[in-house]
Amino acid sequence: MSTYQSALRHTIATYPDVAFTIVLGLIVFTIVKYARSPYRQLPPGPPGIPLIGNVFQLMTGNQWDTFTRWGKEYGDVISVSVVGQCLVILNSAEAAHELMNKRAANSSDRPRSIVAAEYLTGGLFFVFTPYNNLLRRFRKASHEGLNKTVTESYRPSQHTEAIIMAAGVLEAPERLTEHFKRNSASAVMSMIYDHPPLTSGTSEAVRNVGELMIRLTRSAMPGAHLVEIFPWLRYVPASLAKWKRDALYWFQHDTEMLEGLFLEVRKRVDDGDTRPSLAATLIKEGKNLGLSDRENAWAAGTIYTAGTETTAGVMNWFVLAMLAFPEHQRRAQEELDRVVGRTRLPAFSDIDQLPYIHALIRETMRWRPVDPLGMVHVTVADDWYEGMYIPKGTIYVPNVWKFNHDEATYGPDADDFNPARWIGKDGEFLPGPELAKEDGHFGYGYGRRVCVGKYVAQQALFINIATLLWAVTIDRVKDDNGQPKPVDIDGCINEGLVVGPMPYELLAVARFADAYTLLKAERDAV
């Protein structure tokens, strides 16, 4: 026995009261420390497994459905753990507004993504960029080219793309998704780079966007790379780490692609070209904000890739709604016949006279959001909300699906597709709920991360849907018994950046004799 152990035993034997007091004090200290720990006041949530937390519960089914179900048991603010990382699920628009809008200074960061954010995109894809000075300059420059007033200058090209899309749907309805992807990519390329219309949904530009988004979404998925769990692996040389070699290669490849598109615009601007484009605005504003050509190229590329996928996704859900609920298609077409007639195509000059078209757009985005869980935010400091502790580094997950289907906000038919909810008794287009502001839904993000391209997206959806419904009757394919085949309005495919509907068939026929003739004449004149 050591001298220390002998002395300790002697002390305990000689002064038992002192020893008891010390032990009791340690027990009391431990209990008090535990009782006062703010971690005991985390938001409630489902029990997890030691060390790994709630990982397995998050791997089954659609997470937005899981979170909505948990909300009925644990409330509007729920905490879960994923291998020690605290996630707070926000199941009410009120909580999201308070924590992500009002307290945006504390909740505008992003989770770290070593592969997707730091290596694949060099920290320049501003959807993933931490909330720092570079992001603020990115957003300020982008806002100058995408604000509500400036976006009107992009309407002529959006109108052209809508005509090409509608004609394509009549000619080959079986390639519907391809038409929508071509339309979105071409419209965004025109807006950003003043690029002429793309001729195909399988063109190189569309393919490049799709491949870039696949790489990013796959790399950002939890568990995709061990380096996200063990960050020290980023110091392993590229020669020994395939993930690093691949990421560095694709960053160089995508940078060359995006810089090539951007520098074409710079050359035209230097030659005196004054045609409007986002890239031209970035050239001007980027100089004032100290952004390099590479940073500007990636700022433009971020909007290019994100805008292409989301608009095409909304259009796919819209057509599914028209197949499932044809009465709303007929009502919109009656409005188009009354306002536009059948001797000309819809135009942006009709935008204030077509409230039901606006109602269709808003209801589609509310009913089936392409991003049901929004974009996550991260807190930069400890916070408290209604007596619940939210530690620094918490990931906020806004359950946009739940917000958009809340009966307290949208009524007892919140789960139904009902554009008429947005039409007043005198036929006017009604404002949205207070917290949803002018959008009427919660799909455009929060705080200092609100979608910078939402105004141009709204314009594109308006002219696309107005033109498509003016020219085309969308109907279900019949089965062998002559009955309309059912469509799946509840199933979905998670494509990474967006959630889309299950594949469906459709019939697309011209609504009247001259519809295709007028479309084709306008398309041929481009």
451 assigned ligand-binding residue: yes
The pair of three-digit structure tokens given for residue 160, joined into one six-digit string: 């052209």
Task: State the chain's maximal CA–CA distance in angstroms.
Answer: 109
The pair of three-digit structure tokens given for residue 233, joined into one six-digit string: 């692996």
Kind plus residue range of the DSSP H or E element containing 504: none
Say what the alpha-carbon torsion angle 148, 150, 156, 161 is, to the nearest 10 degrees: -60
Q: In 3D, which of 281, 258, 309, 293 has the Cα closest to residue 147?
A: 281
Q: How many CA atoms lie within 13 A of 158 on its CB side?
A: 26
Give one DSSP letter per residue of 262-314, joined into a string: HHHHHHHHHTT-----HHHHHHHHHHHHT--HHHHHHHHHHHHHHHHHHHHHH
Decide: 257 and 206 in contact? Cβ < 8 Å: no
Decide: 308 and 190 in contact? Cβ < 8 Å: no
> From CA 192, how far away is CA 194, in angstroms rounded?
6
Q: Coil, strand, or helix at residue 113?
A: coil
Q: In 3D, which of 93, 91, 88 has the Cα closest to residue 378?
A: 88
φ, ψ of residue 370 in degrees (nearest 5): -75, -15
Q: Coil, strand, or helix at residue 220?
A: helix
Q: In 3D, which of 520, 128, 441, 91 has the Cα closest to residue 301?
A: 128
> From CA 46, how far away is CA 355, in angstroms rounded?
44
Kind plus residue range of the DSSP H or E element containing 121: none
Q: In 3D, which of 67, 92, 62 has the Cα closest to residue 80?
A: 67
Decide: 266 and 193 in contact? Cβ < 8 Å: no
Any bridge partners for residue 397, and if so which? 89
Q: Residue ranges for the binding site for heme? A: 451
Binding residues: 451
